[in-house]
């Protein structure tokens, strides 16, 4: 079975709605590619204009976060049903910036993953180690702990459809990309972990991205690795470089 590549931009806290529409128009001719899935994960306020702007193109829209409750007194939060109604297909969950700055833990992320599936969204679940953890030699233990906790009680049929993004924290926004061998080692270990929790066909189906300073110069080598099914791209997704990454 060959997995279809998925390359997602993570805009983070960038782009006003006006800027967002401009960027989508600028990227449109550059990101045309029918053989990969292209996703823009955008700030909440940009969702409605970006869904409108990508209509009729090969691009789908993702959110950068959501809350697990259905509705109610959670000031400032956005629920899964709101995203679905707005035309969102994917949602990034557990990005290291959410884990670090907003104290999101694995128990919370487990609830978010389940809610995303219940609503019909595809989660892009992030995991990754700090530089300190890598130097201590606990990277694979840490990643396995994150995956096992975040997917606790999630059925194989859902996991087969999801996306997992391996993003070493030391490589995010730093210009220090993991080597393709380092990235492949961890993405392969994630697939083994999925096989261990579920089964071989679920492990074969799940798509695993690499993220962390992906750019036009390193995308081809990273995405050429057998267990790397595309990328989650921050900084370079806001520039015309994203077109070169899509057409790596």
Residues interacting with ligand PGA, by CB under 6 A?
Answer: 10, 167, 172-173, 211-214, 232-236
Cβ-contact 232, 124 below 8 angstroms: yes
For residues 189 and 144, the answer to whether their CB atoms sit within 8 Å is yes
Residue nearest ligand PGA, Cβ-based: 234
Residue in 64, 97, 167, 184 annotated catalytic: 167
Judged by CB, which is closer to ligand PGA: 10, or 146?
10
Listed residue (147, 175, 162) closest to 202, CA to CA: 162
CB of 246 to ligand PGA, least distance (A): 14
- Closest to ligand PGA by CB, 80 vs 232, is 232
Closest CA to 124 of 206, 1, 2: 206
Half-sphere exposure of 118 (CA within 13 A, CB side): 15
Q: Which is nearer to ligand PGA, 100 or 199 (CB)?
A: 100
For residue 87, give every residue at least 6 positions away whose Cβ sits within 8 Å of its Cβ, in sequence order, or none. Answer: 47, 51, 61
- Tell me if residue 184 is catalytic: no
Smallest gap, in angstroms, from Cβ of residue 214 to ligand PGA? 5
Catalytic residue check, 167 = yes
Say which of 64, 95, 97, 104 is annotated catalytic.
95
Q: Which residues are catalytic?
A: 95, 167
């Amino acid at each position: 079975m060959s997995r279809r590549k998925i390359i997602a931009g993570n805009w983070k806290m960038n782009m006003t709605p006006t800027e967002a529409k401009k960027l989508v128009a600028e990227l449109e001719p550059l990101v045309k590619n029918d053989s990969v899935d292209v996703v823009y994960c955008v700030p909440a306020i940009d969702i409605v204009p970006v869904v409108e702007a990508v209509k009729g193109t090969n691009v789908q829209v993702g959110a950068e976060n959501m809350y697990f409750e259905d509705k109610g007194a959670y000031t400032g939060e956005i629920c899964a049903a709101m995203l679905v109604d707005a035309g969102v297909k994917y949602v990034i969950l557990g990005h290291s910036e959410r884990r670090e700055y907003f104290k999101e833990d694995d128990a919370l992320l487990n609830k978010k993953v389940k809610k995303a599936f219940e609503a019909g969204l595809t989660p892009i679940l992030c995991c990754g180690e700090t530089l300190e953890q890598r130097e201590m030699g606990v990277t694979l233990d840490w990643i396995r702990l994150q995956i096992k906790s975040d997917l606790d009680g999630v059925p194989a049929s859902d996991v087969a459809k999801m996306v997992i993004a391996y993003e070493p924290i030391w490589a995010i926004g730093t210009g220090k990309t993991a080597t393709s061998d380092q990235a492949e080692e961890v993405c392969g270990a994630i697939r083994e972990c999925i096989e261990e929790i579920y089964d071989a066909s679920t492990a074969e189906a799940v798509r695993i991205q690499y993220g962390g300073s992906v750019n036009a110069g390193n995308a081809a080598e990273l995405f050429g690795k057998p267990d790397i099914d595309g990328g989650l791209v921050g900084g370079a997704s806001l520039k015309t470089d994203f077109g070169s990454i899509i057409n790596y």
